[in-house]
Structure 1
């Protein structure tokens, strides 16, 4: 058996679904532009620089989910996926996924973005398994807090190993493993797999991939 792991934002997507979700809510006047837009941009720049405090960001990102009924959130999300996310699917993403699926590899999207936003994107891309940051829920409604370990930086390894254990698997279950990512934040997991691949990488990951002899590819062409 072989394992194929895919980062989502700026890898399979030519953009960031976390950032775009907040911008979408601002456009819909659900969030106040004056209050939220500058903070959203600031957090995104911190993420790209590798300096993001994930818990501070999740407090910012998940609190709005707690202020609205789930039914209304689902309606906004459907519109968001159709208008903002579908056009961002990188041209080469489906072909890459299909290649691994044809080999019967176990395919998983592993992303720091919360599962409310990313679950329908995974379905759109035809990937059954998703490891994402999990918003806490009570009685079907979001509390505005996170549950468990965020799927971010080294937390991706922890969350993946928890997922594997729940499915009676370990790293040793796989003859080979791939991880496709664009971000310096994913270096811990990239170093853990047998086949790390830098996809449209940021400058830090690009340099590390060059020095390490890792493949560097683009899904946007």
Structure 2
């Protein structure tokens, strides 16, 4: 059996769903443009630079979920999928996912972006498993805080290990394992699999991939 893991933002998507969701809410007037857009851009730049404080970011990103009822959030997300997400899904990305689905591998998306935003996107690809940052809930309503360890940097390893353990598996259970990512933030998990693949990588990841002889591909 083989294991295939995909990062989502700027890997399977030709864009960042986390950033796009905040911009979508700004565009609808749910978030204040003058204050929140500058914060959203700053956090995105920090992520790309590898300096992001994930908990500070999650305070920003999860807060709107706690201020609105789930039915309203779900309606907004359906609009978000149509307007923002589907245009970021390329034919090459769909084809790569389908190739691995047809191989009967165990497949998951592993992403720091929270599960409310990413769940419908992962289902759009037909991928059966999602390892993501989990928004905490109480009484069916979001609290605005994460539950457990965010799936970010080395946290992705812990979250993947816990997910596999829940299935009675571990990374050593597989003949081959892949992780596709665009970001140097994902180097900890990429170094744990047998087949790391850099996808439209940032400069740091590209340099590392070339030095290690990892494949570098584009899904754009």
Normalising by structure 2, we get a TM-score of 0.99
Distance 1:54 1:137 in 2: 19
Show the counterpart of 1:55: 55
Measured after TM superposition, the shift of residue 91 of structure 1 is 2.7
Structure-1 residue corresponding to 2:110 = 110
Write out aligned runs for 1:175-194 (5 A). Answer: 175-194=175-194
Q: Do 1:197 and 1:215's aligned partners in 2 also have CA atoms closer than 8 Å?
A: yes
For each residue in 1:109-129, what CA deviation from the matched residue of structure 2 results, as whole angstroms up to 9, or x when unmatched? 000000000000000001010
Q: How does 1:1-221 map to 2 (within 5 A)?
A: 1-220=1-220
Aligned residues: 220
Q: Which runs of 5+ in 2 are unaligned?
A: none
C-alpha distance in structure 2 between counterparts of 1:172 and 1:193, whole Å: 9
Moved more, 99-108 or 184-193: 99-108
In 1: Cα distance, 2:205 partner to 2:109 partner: 19
Helix, strand or coil at the partner of 2:198: strand
Return the alpha-carbon distance in structure 2 between the equivalents of residues 126 and 103 of structure 1: 14
Conservation of the 8 A alpha-carbon contact between 1:11 and 1:90: no
How far residue 90 of structure 1 moved from its aligned partner, in angstroms, is 2.6
Aligned-residue Cα RMSD (Å) equals 0.6
User: Shift of the alpha carbon at 1:102?
Assistant: 1.4
Between 1:158-167 and 1:95-104, the stretch displaced more is 95-104
Q: CA deviation at 1:188?
A: 0.2
Q: For 1:209 and 1:43, how far apart are their aligned partners in 2? A: 25
CA displacement, residues 50-92 of structure 1 (integer Å, 9 cap, x when unaligned): 1100000000000111011111111101100111000001331
TM-score, scaled to structure 1: 0.99
Moved beyond 6 Å, runs of 4+:
none
SS at match of 2:178: strand
Q: Deviations over 1:32-67 (max 9, x none)?
A: 001100000000000001110000000000011101
For 1:6 and 1:90, how far apart are their aligned partners in 2? Answer: 15
Q: Which consecutive unaligned segments of at least 5 residues does structure 1 have?
A: none
